[in-house]
Structure 1
C-alpha cells in the first residue's frame, strides 16, 4: 500500500510547524484583511466571510482556533495572510495562516499517535498525529475533515 502522501506545510505560532494533506486542499490564496467581511457574534477565531470565486468563504484564524495567540489581533496582525481552502463533500473553509513553507512528501506510516498530554488541549481534537522531522522537530498533522466539521461553524456552513 502506498503510504507516501503530499502535505502542505506551514507555520503555527512562532516555533511550530503543521501539515495538512493536499487531498483536502482546493486552493491557496493570499487574503487581504480589508477584504474580509466581519460577522458579529461569532467566536473570535472566525474572522468573517470572504468573496471567493463568487462564493461566500468562511475564514478562520487557525492559530486562534488551536489555542495559539490569534494572528488576527494585536502585534501579530498581518495585513495580508495566506488562506488554505479546505474542501470535503462540497463544504469549504478557509484557514488563515502566517506563512506557507512547502509541499512535502511524508510517509503516513511514520506518523505518531497523539497523546493528549503532549499538546494543547485545543489542538488535540484536530490532530491526526505528528511527525518528527530530520532536525528532531515535531510537525503536527492536522485533520482537515475534523476542522471542517468543527461545531463552531457547522451551523453557518
Structure 2
C-alpha cells in the first residue's frame, strides 16, 4: 500500500463496542469537556446536548450516539462526567460532537472503503454512514459522513436558533 494514497481518520468509540471514523479533513479540534460546562437548551431534539463557550464562540454540542440511534449517554451505567468533544468544520459550519473515547489517528486507503450495507447499520445510522473499513483485526470501522452530520434536517429545521 502506498502512503500517498492513504487518508488519515480520527477513530473513536461509538456505543459499547463499535468503532467509528471521521476524516481528519473536517476535524478542527478535539478536547475533553465536563458536562457541567455545557449549557442545556430546552425544546431541542434529544441528541442536542446544548451549547458550549468555545474560545468565545457558541458551539452547539450533539450527542453523536443518540443522533445515530444508540442508547443516550446519560442513561448508560458507565456514564462519566467527562466526554470528548470533536469540533467539526465544513463550509464554515461548525458543530461539536460528543463521544466517549478518542482512540487514534489511523491511515486508510479510500479505495478500500466498502459501501454501506443496509443490514449492517440501523435506519437511524444509515444516512450518516459513508461506508466502512475492515482493519487487520477484522473489526468493522464505521466511516461517518461529516457533511451528512452537518446537513441533517435537525439543523435545517432549527436554522433560526442555530445561526
Indicate whether the TM-score tops 0.5: yes
Measured against aligned partners, the alpha-carbon deviations of 1:80-108 in whole angstroms (never above 9, x if no partner) come to 10000000111110000000000011111
Unaligned runs of 5+ in 2: none
> Which of 147, 151, 154 is the aligned partner of 2:153?
151
1:52-63 to structure 2, matched below 5 A, reads 52-63=54-65
CA distance in 1, matches of 2:41, 2:78: 21
Q: Would you say how many aligned residue pairs link Structure 1 and Structure 2?
A: 157
The aligned counterpart of 1:82 is 84
Partner of 1:114: 116
CA contact (8 A) 1:59 1:95 kept: yes
What is the alpha-carbon distance in structure 2 between the residues aligned to residue 23 and residue 3 of structure 1?
15
User: Any idea what the Cα deviations from partners look like across 1:103-148, whole Å, max 9, x if unmatched?
Assistant: 0111111100012122111111001100011111110000111101
1:73, CA displacement in angstroms?
A: 3.2
Question: Who is 1:11 aligned against?
Answer: 13
The equivalent residue for 1:35 is 37
Aligned partners of 1:61 and 1:72 also within 8 Å: no
Aligned to 1:70: 72
Question: What TM-score does the superposition give when structure 2 sets the normalisation length?
Answer: 0.92
Cα RMSD (Å): 1.4
Unaligned segments of structure 1, at least 5 residues: none
* Paired residues of 1:114 and 1:129 also in contact (CA < 8 A): yes
